[in-house]
Amino acid sequence: MQTVIVTGGAGFIGSALIRHLIAHDTCRIVNVDCLTYAGHTATLKDIDQNPRYCLEQVDIRDRSALDRVFSTWQPDVVVHLAAESHVDRSIDGPAIFIDTNIVGVFNLLEAARCWYASLEGEPRERFRFHHVSTDEVFGDLAADAEPFSETTPYAPSSPYAASKASADHLVRAWQRTYGLPTLITNCSNNYGPWHFPEKLIPLVILNALQGRDIPVYGEGHQIRDWLYVDDHARALHLVMTQGKIGTSYNIGGHEERRNIDVITTICDVLERLEIPHPAGVNRFHDLITHVPDRPGHDRRYAIDASHIGRELGWRPQESFESGIEKTVRWFVEHGDWCQGVEEEETRQRQGLGVTA
């Protein structure tokens, strides 16, 4: 049985990947996650008793803890997702983004390099380090420009995007300089169940359900490409098992939408599902409120995912319309999970003095 370390497996995409691997692979999964405000064991409660799964509550900034994890679990594959992931937080407090997304990746690469150096024969041939990154590394895309390809130059705008771009460069350098067998994927915006409530789509759904204002940055004309999280998990599984070492793969949903259109679509779905309006609200759309734009806000991201399609046969299966309806239904039915993670975030913020 192969052993896969998934870092950040208690977060949104990592937990979707772990569920996917439990269902579609035979590997043993070691989730390396220090459980920040964005990581919750409740997110994995459906599989946490599975004998093929275990959690190592370890911080990737702690190199000696990582060395212990590698020698204990002897991984065949590392899929690295642990990160600080919220752009607004990176603007308010960039230091933790540098620590986790750059220094943390450096630690993990060094732990992986030492582990790889100790391997011989088949285990050495099998080993791979898959780094999960974002389309935000490519920066702002003009309205009429071609979508990002794997050769688009990096031009990150936010501290978050810059930290992820730095990590991508480190991973490439460790492949080229030390021969570490690495893979990189750059994906567009994900959405779906178990998404932490601070991100756009869950925030809109939950604010609407609770009768709170739905904030829209500026006119809401920023364009993002949206991918249902289970499609991302499928792509990650394909790349980690069949991807060509030293290669980057762009992953995207071919579903470009303006933020304002995403928000009105969610309000339309809530109306169509006949979700009861909160007190004093006639239509969910009435809650939409324009707020000053985020500094340095990129206008457009769009992904050309044809390379992974040609080489590995991956294509998204979920359309934006069906995926968003599933997501809305999920959040309507999982108020307890949302309340639990929000309360935990408040508790951590108060206890640790983190500012949101």
Active-site residues: which are they?
135-136, 160
**Residue 36 makes contact with ligand NAD by CB under 6 A:** yes
**Are 267 and 278 within 8 A, CB to CB?**
no
**Which residues is 187 bridged to in the sheet?**
134, 251
CA-CA distance, 263 to 281, in Å (whole number)?
Answer: 16
Q: Is residue 39 involved in binding ligand NAD (CB under 6 A)?
A: yes
Least separation in angstroms between CB 281 and ligand NAD? 29
Nearer to ligand NAD, 247 or 275 (CB): 247
Rounded to an integer, what distance in angstroms lies between the CA atom of residue 150 and that of residue 119? Answer: 31
- Least distance CB 101 / ligand NAD (angstroms): 7
* Total residue count of the chain as it appears in this document: 356
The single residue among 34, 183, 205, 238 that binds ligand NAD, judged by CB under 6 A, is 34
Say if CB 220 and CB 259 are below 8 A apart.
Answer: yes
Query: Among residue numbers 62 through 121, which ones bind ligand NAD (CB under 6 A)?
Result: 81-85, 100, 104
Q: Which of residues 243-282 bind ligand NAD (CB under 6 A)?
A: none
Q: Are the C-beta atoms of residues 146 and 304 closer than 8 Å to each other?
A: yes
Distance CA 351, CA 356 (A): 13
CB of 276 to ligand NAD, least distance (A): 29
H-helix segments, 179-228: 200-210
Whichever of 175 and 250 has its CB closer to ligand NAD, that residue is: 250
Residue 133 beta carbon to ligand NAD: minimum distance, rounded to whole angstroms: 6
Q: Build a one-symbol-per-residue string for 1-30: x at contacts with ligand NAD by CB under 6 A, - elsewhere.
A: -------x-xxxxx----------------
- Paired tokens of 355: 């500012």
Contact 39, 67 (CB under 8 A): no
**237 CB neighbour count, 10 Å cutoff:** 19
CB of 26 to ligand NAD, least distance (A): 24
* For ligand NAD, the closer CB: 258 or 277: 258
Structure tokens at 104: 């943390």
Stretch 185-214 residues interacting with ligand NAD (CB under 6 A)? 187, 189-190, 196
Pick the binder of ligand NAD from 19, 28, 130, 164 (CB under 6 A): 164
x/- contact string, 132-151, with ligand NAD (CB under 6 A)?
xxx-----------------
Q: Measured between alpha carbons, how far is residue 338 from residues 80, 131, 145 in Å?
A: 25, 28, 38
Contact at 8 Å (CB) between 239 and 285? no
What residues line the site for ligand NAD (CB under 6 A)? 8, 10-14, 33-36, 38-39, 59-61, 81-85, 100, 104, 132-134, 164, 187, 189-190, 196
